[in-house]
Each structure stands twice: as C-alpha cells, then as structure tokens.
Amino acid sequence: MTSGSTLESPNGTQNGNQGGTQAVDRAAALLTLVVEADAPVSFAELNEASGLARSTTSRLLAALERTRLVERCATGEYVGGPLFVLYAARHDRHAELARLARPMLETVGESTGETVHLAVANGGRVAHVAQVDSTFLLGARDWTDVDVPAHCSALGKVLLAWQVLDLPEGDLEVVTDRTLRTTRELEADLERARAAGFAVTLDELELGLSGVAAPVLGPDGAVVASVGVSGPTARLEDRVDQVGRLLTEQADALSALLRHGTTRRA
C-alpha cells in the first residue's frame, strides 16, 4: 500500500493509514483467536472476545474468509483457513494434508461405497495417513497402522511408479500367489500404471482384496501422496477403469488445491 492510500474502516467510512492499520489490527486479532483456539469458534464467541460491533466482526471475518485465512466448518463455526493447511502441506505435515484431503476422500467413498485411503512415503515405506470406511457391511480392513510392502498395494505402486519410493532390490516379498515376484514384472506393471494414470492390485496383498490408486501432486509438481480405493475383488475387478478415472479426477482436484489452482494435465 502506498503512502496516502485509504482503506474502508470498520464503520464503513474512508480513513487514512491510521484507520487502515486499525482494521488490520482488528482482523489480525480475530484471526489469532481462531487459530489459537482448540476447537472451532462460533461467531458469537469471536464477537464477544473481540469486543467489536457485530457488523464490524462480520465484515472482518468475511474479509478473512475471502482471503482464505479462515473458513467455516459444517456447523458454521470458524477454523483456520486453507492457506494454513496449504502451508503445512508444503512442509510435509501429514495430518494437515489428510485434513485437506478429507472432502475428496469422502466424495470417492460416497461414489464407490468402498474403503478410501490416503498414503505417503515415510522411511521408505507406505504410510497410511487417512481412511474413509466402506459403506458395505463387508469392506477392507483399517490399514492405518499396518506395514504393507509397496509392490503389493496400489497405493505403494503409485509411490514406486512416480519414483517417490525406490524400487526394491533383489527378489520381491511374495505374499499371495498373485504377488509380483520379480523386479522385471514390477517395472512392467509400473509402466502400465504411469500410462493409465493409476495403479491396480488384484489379490496381490490378500486373496479376495483388490485396490486402485492415483497420484497426488504437491506444490512443486512432484507426487506427494497416493489416494486409493480397496475392497473385495468381486466388487472391484469389473470396475477398475471406472474407479481409476474417478480417483484420477479427484486426485487432480486435490493437486490443484496444493498447487494454488494449477492442474496436472494441460
């Protein structure tokens, strides 16, 4: 802002720099209340804590919401906005990445009825950081704290195919009679995944269990996570392409958020 410029003051009049500074101070105080709170904060709580007129509180919160510094959750209360989540995601904060991905995971879950996962690479392994459970009575187990060989899962294959994880050396761990056994077989499978835009496993981790997963790109264009669906082979094997396209679309949307509105595909 250049010298002599004006901002609308909280009471709606045009003030000089002093009034503009006061508005910034008041907005910053509201933002601090939201960010430092242990739970979502209601408008009434913010208005009371700030001591501002209701109209002023409303105007300042609307400005903070427009600039993505705060947002309202489903109950209408205020929480820290997408910019805070994006900042954390840029620095590999898995919990915040999972928070940002939650609406996408729920969309995929509603569309497929199957268990939906978000995974990242951690210590050379596949780490599940979020899961939305299946709506079917029979669904996939909770994989959040389970150590899974990367070449046996669709999520892991994505991280291998896009070189987030290194290819395993030597003979591959064989879990079922459908598990890929050699590096050559794995490399061919990963090439198919890159061409399709998503990876697939059929009975390779557990007999009767299959999965499909797609890559999520971070702010620098590199893959930072994989999002996938798993469920009984009997329900998934005939709709692999359909689920793969859905995951790719939703992963693109999440990638666009992480990259401030740019998409993976031209």
What is the model's pTM? 0.64
Q: What is the pLDDT of residue 224?
A: 92
- State the average pLDDT over residues 77-91: 74
Same domain, 115 and 70: no
The type of residue at 127 is A
Same domain, 51 and 72: yes
Does residue 124 belong to any structural domain of this protein? yes
Does residue 264 belong to any structural domain of this protein? no
pLDDT band at 17 (very low <50, low <70, confident <90, very high): low
Average per-residue pLDDT in the chain? 84
Which residues 6+ apart lie within 8 Å of 51 measured at CB? none
In degrees, rounded to 5, the angle at the alpha carbon of residue 203 between the alpha carbons of residues 171 and 232 is 155
Beta-carbon count within 10 A of 97 CB = 26
Domain with residue 224: its CATH number is 3.30.450.40
Which has more pLDDT, 256 or 7? Answer: 256
The domain tally of the chain equals 2
Domain with residue 40: its CATH number is 1.10.10.10
pLDDT at 242 over 70: yes
Does residue 119 belong to any structural domain of this protein? yes
pLDDT at 69 over 80: yes
Same domain, 187 and 253: yes
Q: Which domain holds residue 46?
A: 7-80
Residue after which a domain boundary falls, among 62, 80, 98: 80
Same domain, 93 and 174: yes
Q: What is the pLDDT of residue 84?
A: 75
Residue after which a domain boundary falls, among 36, 57, 80: 80
Same domain, 144 and 220: yes
- State the average pLDDT over residues 232-252: 96
Q: What is the pLDDT of residue 137?
A: 57
E-assigned strands of the chain? 7-8, 14-15, 70-72, 78-80, 115-122, 125-132, 199-202, 209-217, 223-232
Residue after which a domain boundary falls, among 80, 99, 134: 80
Which residues 6+ apart lie within 8 Å of 85 measured at CB? 96, 97, 99, 100
Q: What is the pLDDT of residue 63?
A: 94
d(CA 135, CA 113): 5
Q: What is the pLDDT of residue 259?
A: 74
Same domain, 145 and 226: yes
Same domain, 108 and 228: yes
Same domain, 124 and 12: no
Same domain, 116 and 137: yes
